[in-house]
């Protein structure tokens, strides 16, 4: 009986001490503490709206689709995949290429290959050039899709798993 009493006493002290650790700075869950409301210098409290006032504003993309998509590749990364598409321009001075997501339907991610034509386009006939653009697909979106389609004005290319 004698050796059991010190063990029970030590165990009860250890369990009682655990409650003190949960309220101390040593516990990582308490490092930042609780939050409090802070008033501005003039005494008012600023509450930001959940939906901004300009949420209804839409930006219309005036860029056109590239002439034709000649190459499409999907390269896996630790964070998802990089979709890389190469297209041939219809005008020699097109620039600002981007793969713009348009929709996800039936497991197909549709990307529009958009390019910008300058306001003062040259009329000199040069050979069309190739432009490459890329789009990053994260793992969350990648788990929802089975194929990726890139659309140009004359054709589209698709890559399936």
Question: What pLDDT shows up at residue 124?
Answer: 61
Domain boundaries, position 133: 64-119+128-156
When divided into structural domains, the chain yields a total of 1
Residue 133 belongs to some domain of the structure: yes
Q: How far apart are the C-alpha atoms of 139 and 119, rounded to whole Å?
A: 38
Residue 89 belongs to some domain of the structure: yes
Spatial CA neighbour of 159 closest among 97, 91, 79, 99: 99
Residue 48 belongs to some domain of the structure: no
- The residue that leads in pLDDT, 93 or 67, is 67
Contacts of 32 (CB under 8 A, 6+ apart): none
Residue 4 belongs to some domain of the structure: no
SS3 82: strand
- The residue that leads in pLDDT, 134 or 17, is 134
Residue 55 belongs to some domain of the structure: no
Residue 30 belongs to some domain of the structure: no
Question: What tokens does 13 get?
Answer: 């002290």
| Mean pLDDT taken over the chain | 81
Residue 13 belongs to some domain of the structure: no
Instruction: Report if pTM > 0.95.
Output: no
Tens digits of per-residue pLDDT, 114-125?
999 888 766 665
Question: What pLDDT shows up at residue 61?
Answer: 82
Q: How far apart are the C-alpha atoms of 147 and 56, rounded to whole Å?
A: 31
Residue 74 belongs to some domain of the structure: yes
- The residue that leads in pLDDT, 104 or 55, is 104
């Amino acid at each position: 009986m004698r050796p059991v009493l010190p063990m029970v006493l030590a165990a009860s002290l250890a369990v009682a001490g655990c409650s003190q650790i949960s309220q101390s700075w040593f516990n990582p869950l308490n490092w930042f503490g609780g939050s409090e409301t802070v008033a501005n210098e003039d005494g008012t409290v600023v509450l930001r709206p959940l939906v901004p006032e300009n949420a209804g504003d839409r930006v219309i993309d005036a860029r056109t689709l590239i002439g034709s998509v000649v190459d499409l590749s999907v390269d896996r990364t630790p964070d998802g995949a990089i979709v890389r598409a190469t297209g041939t321009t219809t005008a020699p001075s097109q620039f600002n290429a981007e793969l713009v997501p348009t929709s996800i339907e039936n497991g197909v991610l549709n990307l529009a290959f958009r390019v910008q034509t300058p306001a003062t386009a040259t009329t000199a006939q040069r050979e069309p050039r190739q432009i490459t653009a890329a789009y990053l697909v994260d793992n969350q979106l990648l788990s929802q899709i089975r194929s990726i389609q890139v659309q140009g004005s004359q054709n589209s290319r698709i890559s399936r798993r």
